[in-house]
Chain A
Amino acid sequence: MSDDRPSHEAPRATTGDAVLTRSGTRVELASAACFVVAIVAAIALAVVYWEGGQPQAEGVLLALALGGIGVGIVLWAKHFMPDDEVSEDRHPMASTDEEVAAFTADFQAGESSLTSRRTLVATAGGACAALGVALVFPLRSLGPRPGRGLKQTPYQGGGIRVVREDGSPVRPDDLEPGGFITVWPEGHTDAADAPTLLIRYQPDQDFEPVAGREDWTVENVVAYSKLCTHVGCPVGLYQSDSGLLLCPCHQSTFDVLQGAEPVFGPAARSLPQLPLAVDDSGYLIATGDFSDPVGPGFWDRGR
Chain B
Amino acid sequence: MSARKRRPERLLTHRMARWVDTRLGSAKLARTALNKVFPDHWSFMIGELGLYCFIVLVLTGVYLTFFFEPSSNQVVYDGSYEPLRGVQMTQAYHSALELSFDVRAGLVMRQIHHWAALLFLAAIAVHLIRVFFTGAFRRPREINWIIGCTLLILALVNGLFGYSLLDDQLSGTGLRIVYSVALSIPLIGTWLTSLLFGGEFPGPDIIERLYVLHILIVPAIIAVLLSAHLGILVRQKHTHFPGPGRREDNVVGERMWPTYAAKALGLFFLTSAVLAFLGGVFQINPIWIYGPFDPAQVSAASQPDWYMGWLDGALRIMPGWEFRAGGFEVPNPFFPGVLLAGLTFTLLYVWPFLEARVTGDYAEHHVLDRPRQRPVRTALGAATIAFFVVAFIGGGADVMASTFGLSVNAILWTFRFLILLAPPAVGWLTYRLCKELSARDGVPTASRVRVRDIPGRLRRGPGAADTAPAPESAPGG
Binding site for B on A (CB under 8 A): 5-11, 13, 49, 52-53, 55-60, 62-67, 69-74, 76-78, 81-93, 139-140, 142-146, 149-150, 165, 182, 184, 192-193, 195, 226, 230-234, 236-237, 246, 248-253, 262, 264-269, 295-303
* Inter-subunit contact B295/A195 (CB<8 Å): yes
Do B463 and A192 have beta carbons less than 8 Å apart? no
B8 in contact (CB, < 8 A): no
Q: Mark B60-92, 1 if CB is under 8 A from A, else 0.
A: 000000000000000000000000000000000
B151 CB-CB contact with A under 8 Å: no
Residues from chain A with a CB closer than 8 A to the CB of B364 are 92-93
Which residues of B313-343 have CB atoms within 8 Å of chain A's CB atoms?
A: 315-322, 324, 327-333, 336
A231's nearest neighbour on chain B, judged by CB, is B180
- B397 located at the interface, meaning its Cβ lies under 8 Å from any Cβ of chain A in the complex: yes
Q: Which of B251, B267, B295, B300 has the most chain A CB atoms closer than 10 A to its own CB? A: B295
Considering the chains assembled together, what is the distance between the CA atoms of A86 and B333 in angstroms? 54
**Which A residue's beta carbon lies closest to that of B140?**
A93
Knowing A231-B177, A266-B319, the reply to whether A192 touches B263 (Cβ < 8 A) is no
CB-CB nearest in chain B for A85 = B461
CB pair B183–A296 under 8 Å, yes or no, is: yes
Contact call A268/B320, Cβ cutoff below 8 A? yes
Given A63-B274, A67-B270, A87–B245 Cβ distance below 8 Å? yes
Chain A, Cβ-Cβ closest to B318: A266
B431 at the interface (CB under 8 A from A): no
Q: Contact: B398 with A10, CB < 8 Å?
A: no
Would you list the 9 A-B pairs with minimal beta carbon distance, nearest first? A59-B280, A297-B331, A70-B269, A67-B273, A231-B180, A10-B461, A296-B180, A63-B277, A70-B270
Report chain A residues within 8 Å CB of B199: 143-144, 149
Write out the residue numbers on chain A whose beta carbons fall within 8 Å of the beta carbon of B301.
248
Which of A74, A87, A237 has the most C-beta atoms of chain B within 10 angstroms of its own C-beta?
A: A87
CB distance from B188 to the nearest CB of A (A): 9
Is A298 within 8 A of B249, CB to CB? no
**A67-B270, A83-B254 known; A56+B280 contact, CB < 8 A:** yes
CA distance A73 to B296 in the complex (A): 54
Instruction: Return the CB mask of B181-206 against A: 1 if under 8 Å, else 0.
Output: 10111110111011111111111010
Number of A-B residue pairs having CB atoms within 8 Å of each other in the complex = 313
Contact in complex: B459, A85 (CB < 8 Å): yes
Q: Can you list 15 A-B pairs, Cβ within 8 angstroms, ordered by A?
A: A13-B462, A49-B105, A53-B105, A70-B268, A82-B255, A87-B464, A90-B251, A139-B195, A145-B194, A236-B298, A251-B397, A252-B320, A268-B331, A297-B331, A299-B186
Known: A87-B252, A143-B197, A295-B180. A59 touches B316 (CB 8 A): no
Given A73-B265, A142-B198, 15 more A-B residue pairs with CB atoms under 8 Å apart are A13-B462, A53-B105, A58-B108, A59-B276, A69-B269, A71-B270, A83-B259, A86-B37, A88-B237, A143-B203, A150-B190, A193-B200, A251-B408, A266-B318, A296-B180
Docked complex Cα distance between A108 and B316 (Å)? 57
Which residues does chain B contribute within 8 Å of A267, judged by CB atoms?
Answer: 320, 332
Q: Is B5 located at the chain interface by the 8 A CB criterion?
A: no
Could you tell me the distance between the alpha carbons of A264 and B397 in the complex, rounded to whole angstroms? Answer: 14
Whether B384 is near chain A, meaning CB under 8 Å from some CB there, is: no
On whether the beta carbons of B270 and A143 are closer than 8 Å, the reply is: no
Contact A74 B177 (CB under 8 A): no
In the bound complex, residues from chain B placing their C-beta under 8 Å from that of A73 are 262-263, 265-266, 269
Which residues from B are CB-within-8-Å of A145? 194
Bound complex: CA A230 to CA B409 (Å): 16
For window 341-386 of chain B, which residues contact chain A by CB distance below 8 Å?
Answer: 364, 366
Per the bound structure, the CA–CA distance linking A78 and B108 in Å amounts to 32
Q: Which of the residues B186, B263, B273, B279 comes within 8 Å of A77, measured between beta carbons?
A: B263
- Do A55 and B181 have beta carbons less than 8 Å apart? no
* Nearest B residue (CB) for A64: B273
**Residues of A with C-beta under 8 A to B322:** 268-269, 297
B189 and A299 within 8 A (CB): yes
Which residues of the other chain, B, contact A299 by a CB distance below 8 angstroms?
184-187, 189-190, 328-331
